[in-house]
Amino acid sequence: MLFTNWMEGGISLFSALATSIAAGIIFGALMTLYYQTSAKRHHLSQWQSLTPVHTTTEHSIAS
């Protein structure tokens, strides 16, 4: 939001970019912390330990 209105508030372009990037990094870090905590609370497996399941989506059409 700050970045889209940077000219009207008298903020320099560099300051608006730096603030937007910092806010994105902080938001991303907080979301990572939230989901890691939630995964531990619910006893979920790590992504690396999961095995892929191959399913086929082909359906034969009876004529």
Q: What is the pLDDT of residues 2-50, one digit of tens each?
A: 556 767 778 888 988 898 899 999 999 999 999 999 999 999 988 888 8
Q: Tokens 């608006």 map to which residue?
A: 16
Quick one: pLDDT at residue 59? 62
Quick one: pLDDT at residue 60? 58
47: its two tokens: 């992504």
Quick one: pLDDT at residue 28? 98
Which of the pair, 57 or 32, is modelled with greater confidence? 32
Q: How confident is the model at residue 61 (pLDDT cuts 50, 70, 90)?
A: low
The domain limits of the chain are 12-40
The values of phi and psi at residue 58, to 5°, are -80, 135
The values of phi and psi at residue 40, to 5°, are -65, -40
pTM comes to: 0.63
